[in-house]
Structure 1
């Protein structure tokens, strides 16, 4: 096609570049642009617009972006806000906030589209505080935020759990925007739900007459996110009753709800719904189903789904190993771990943590220590605190509490209270009074006012029949007004 227009003008070349872009061929756009420059053809704002978009799609490199940006400056387009907006978005594709902000700061005339590009970049790239600051600066420069701005700031409020800021945003939208479109309404519902204000989310949900799948999904996800699992299920059933077809995001939310509930019957029904409606082609969905069936107690079904997968990702292997660990199948988890590596998957921190947990559940001390050593020495993975905690738990479960204490003392990072509590309980079970006393001293140094530590100390002293000391601990709790907080709870599925 390029050969046919070699003698053509810039307009024809731009038409070709547009065609390449619309057919999702960004590499051809860049090749065509290079050909235009070699032939000395006129480069206008349309040409640069196509090239900048192609850079973001082709993901060439930050260096490539800088080269295109330099050409924008060289050709004198630094004052055209449309081109500068496109350049800002291009840098944003690579997460280069410094260059994006510099483009914004150097643009003399900033319209609402450019402001929205900056605010959206920060909101979408997990910089919510900067997104909110950008919106405030926007207002300070007398640029009026529109629906796009509000949607981006609502996302930032979600990330920060900034309910009060979200309410002010909602008030601004009511006062300054003529009616709410569906995108804005859905964003506000999601914001209220993620900030824990379900009453406001439900009220806004009720005010929408024509609800689309995103509206319903936002409420379902909000209930699930805040732990109102039965309400999430009821909302999904209500959605089915009004004949709104669920999409993949909706079903992922329902799978997550079933996993949290541990309801095997509901999980099987959701599984059948997903298969019936053709969502099993999604690797993400299949991974979620493996996790759900594992947490609902049906590890056989989880294994069956895993075996039937045509394409597996690292998440697939992680979910399977985690499920086997959860059910105490340590040997099987190690077999999957070895198989995963043979198939060319490199284990990450999450995989190693699940393997260590599998060894801990099954009491495989030697295998767990080898895995921990391999993680550091062969794979160069720096352990999280959870990895150290899993090793301590493993050593304690096989009766090696002295080794567990030595392991804690050799840790390159300061152990957290959870690790000390695990050791203390193991010492209590195995009659290691001296070690327990040392561990308790270190625990109280970390959390001198935690009620659970006093209960733990009292229970330990009771096991060694130091009744006077038990009374002293209880008296100390009464004097310092330390009360037991956050009582535990459990649930069972009946019939």
Structure 2
């Protein structure tokens, strides 16, 4: 018999021996006299409770007849409450049991961990150690589950150490829980060490590793691990599929995303509403909004999460009117919007410049649906007002809103100051931001952009010195493009790609044709006081242009070029890409950190409102 069968049989034996309530009537229990009532009768009554109501009556009788110190009856009562999910009374009764067994400790810890009561689960685990009872292989997975739920790495490492000390260092279920714990605590490397040292790997451990990679930003590794799992003969489950769909959406890897969509259809997971919603989100974030809408239309039984995903998809692509249409259709079909829905629709109005509509939905949320705005809603409103040039109104909203503003709200306003070149407000907002978040490089860059646009190079240098003093490093711009089942990555002025010579030569030819069409570089986006010719060269080798040139060289003329960038596209690259789309007669779709830009025939879907 292998370890898994041994564990399963042991757990089955525990379930069989556990005095769980049997199926019985919910009719009130007849109270007997104290003389007639015995521990055996109460034991029988506890075992026959089929709902919490009669259980409370039996519990009351136990107290009335002075049997509240009987360990067996207390154990039965605690287990009965646990079986109904009544954790607080179960915990209180458990605390009165003298010297509970390891088996009982395990059941109580498991119940709290599986129901999301992670703090209580760890407190119970700690109390078990303090009582002198050594945890066994049945306790560790649930203690680790609690650590993972709390992202508590310190306790997770302690539990890991305990498992080794008591001789459980090679247990399949404990190792799987360790992989999950380390991954959810953000320590993917440690999760991988545990995974690589496992003597046997099951679906749980593979899935935990894939999810860990995907949710911690190692998206390419998540996709590679999925293939390794399949090669090992392990069939993916829903959690694994959701993780790789997330990875595809973050990478903009639409071809791989299509494969996973087909996999979902073949394995029957497409009927799972959560999977369908993830597919919609994947297509939308990979730039294939038409495919996202097709999947959405074919999805049956759409819930508010699915509707909200479609609204958000239209919003991030800048199609605010389509987002409004979906919102209205959702309400017509009787699905009530929630907080996330209103965040999506107000954000969609912001990206599309629909000021009055966005304000209307903000008011609708409070007046009609009784939803109090949260930070996300106020952030969308500040962004909406700021993009519309109403900086005074945006600042007044921040100062008068009932919840404390965070740095993202002030950051939205600073971004609006950059768009409209408002130095006075920008400097004042920047001072607030640097106090709240002194290490976020993006806000320093925004302030530098405001100064550079006015050729205030001394102030640009001052901001750079401030970043150096606070040891803040500017995030490098990275652009990704999928080709031939690979993700190709480019940085600013990158020369590491095997096709570097061809890419730079192609950009050189494009430069000549662009100037013939009237292209004038926006050198305000170069944060250095250098000659114009050097500024132009610095702009022309931004990461998105390198990725565009790679796509033009390698991809068929009828294929749209899809690029994902980790930062906001700069104004000069935006103008240049419009011209490139016209010169090459190509559709170019760029997703930056805020939204999508669909370039074609010299125009962009954002209508230069971004």
| Alignment partners' CA distance in 2, 1:192 and 1:185 | 11
The residue number in structure 1 matching 2:403 is 413
> Quick one: which of 46, 49, 57 aligns to 2:47?
49
Q: Which moved more, 1:313-322 or 1:69-78?
A: 69-78
State which drifts further: 152-161 or 399-408: 399-408
**Residue number in structure 1 paired with 2:486:** none
TM-score by length of 1: 0.82
Would you say 1:333 and 2:323 are equivalent positions? yes
2:481 equivalent to 1:492: yes
2:246 to 244, 256, 266: 256
Q: Is the 8 A contact 2:444 2:467 kept in 1?
A: yes
CA distance in 2, matches of 1:204, 1:192: 9
Q: Does 1:117 align with 2:107?
A: yes
CA distance in 1, matches of 2:190, 2:411: 40
Cα pair 1:299 1:323 within 8 Å, conserved: yes
- Greater CA drift, 362-371 or 305-314: 305-314
Partner SS, residue 249 of structure 2: helix
1:357 paired to 2:347: yes
Kindly indicate whether the alpha-carbon contact (under 8 Å) linking 1:189 and 1:201 is maintained by their aligned counterparts in 2: yes
Q: Residues 474 and 239 (structure 1 numbering): CA distance in 2 closer, same or farther, change over 3 Å?
A: closer
Q: CA deviation at 1:160?
A: 3.4
Inter-partner Cα distance in structure 2 for 1:33 and 1:363: 60
Structure 2 CA distance, aligned partners of 1:488 and 1:68?
Answer: 67
Counterpart contact for 2:441–2:475, Cα < 8 Å: no
Query: CA 1:427–1:165 in structure 2 vs 1: closer, same or farther (change >3 Å)?
Result: closer
Distance 1:46 1:361, change over 3 A: farther
Q: Which moved more, 1:271-280 or 1:289-298?
A: 289-298
Match of 1:287 among 277, 288, 302: 277
> What is the number of equivalent residue pairs in this alignment?
459
Distance 1:203 1:459, change over 3 A: closer
Normalized per residue, the structure richer in helix is: 1
Q: Which moved more, 1:119-128 or 1:354-363?
A: 119-128
- Give 1:378 shift: 1.9
1:378-406, Cα deviation, whole Å (9 max, x unpaired): 22212121211111111222233333233
Distance 1:313 1:438 in 2: 43
Matched, 1:79 2:74: no
Q: 1:65, CA displacement in angstroms? A: 5.9
Which moves more between the two structures, 177-186 or 234-243? 177-186
Change (3 A) 1:299 1:209: same
Matching of residues 206-217 of structure 1 within 5 Å: 206-217=196-207
Q: What is aligned with 2:451?
A: 461
In structure 1, the residue matched to 2:159 is 169
In structure 1, how many angstroms separate the alpha carbons of the residues matched to 2:456 and 2:191? 54
Post-superposition offset of 1:150: 0.6
Instruction: Give the match's secondary structure for 2:138.
Output: helix
8 Å CA contact 2:29–2:57 kept in 1: the answer is no
CA contact (8 A) 1:360 1:397 kept: yes
Tell me if the contact between 1:408 and 1:415 (Cα under 8 Å) persists in the aligned partners: yes
Q: Report if aligned partners of 1:392, 1:407 keep a CA contact under 8 Å in 2.
A: yes
Residue in structure 2 matched with residue 391 of structure 1 by the alignment: 381
Q: Looking at both structures, which has the greater relative contact order when contacts are Cα pairs under 8 Å and sequence separation is at least 6?
A: 2
SS in 1 for 2:270: coil
Decide which structure has greater strand share: 2
Deviation at 1:156, TM superposition (A): 2.0
Q: Is contact 2:346-2:362 (8 Å) kept?
A: yes
Q: Is the 8 A contact 2:280 2:293 kept in 1?
A: yes
Q: Which moved more, 1:176-185 or 1:304-313?
A: 176-185
Q: Secondary structure at the match of 2:82?
A: helix
Distance in 1, matches of 2:154 and 2:376, equals 34
Find the residue that maps to 1:491 and give its secondary structure.
strand
1:225-273: per-residue Cα shift (whole Å, max 9, x none)? 2222222222211221222222222222222222222210000000101
The 3-state SS of whatever aligns with 2:371 is: coil
Q: Describe the SS at the equivalent of 1:406.
A: helix
SS at match of 1:420: helix
Are 2:312 and 2:348, in contact at CA under 8 Å, matched by a contact in 1? Answer: yes
Closer, same or farther in 2 for the Cα pair 1:465/1:261, shift >3 Å? closer
Identify the range of structure 1 (405-414 vs 133-142) with the bigger mean alpha-carbon deviation. 405-414
Q: In 1, distance between residues paired with 2:440 and 2:236?
A: 45
Residue matched to 1:133: 123
Deviates more, 1:410-419 or 1:389-398: 410-419
Counterpart-to-counterpart distance in 2, 1:68 and 1:303: 56
RMSD across aligned C-alpha pairs, in angstroms? Answer: 3.2
Gaps of 5+ in 2: 1-15, 484-554, 556-610
- Give distance in 1, aligned partners of 2:23 and 2:381: 54
Give the deviation of 1:472 after TM superposition.
4.5
Match for residue 27 of structure 2 among 34, 37, 53: 34
Cα distance in 2, alignment partners of residues 115 and 348 from structure 1: 40
Partner of 1:483: 472
Q: What is the DSSP-based 3-state SS (H/G/I as helix, E as strand, rest coil) of the residue aligned with 2:271?
A: coil
In the TM superposition, residue 444 of structure 1 has moved relative to its aligned partner by 4.8
1:343 equivalent in structure 2: 333
Match of 1:194 among 176, 184, 195: 184
Give the TM-score of the pair, scaled to structure 2: 0.68
How much does 1:36 deviate?
Answer: 7.0
What secondary structure is seen at the aligned counterpart in 2 of 1:422? helix
Q: Quick check: 1:360–1:394 contact (8 Å CA) kept in 2?
A: yes
Structure 1, unaligned runs of 5 or more: 1-17
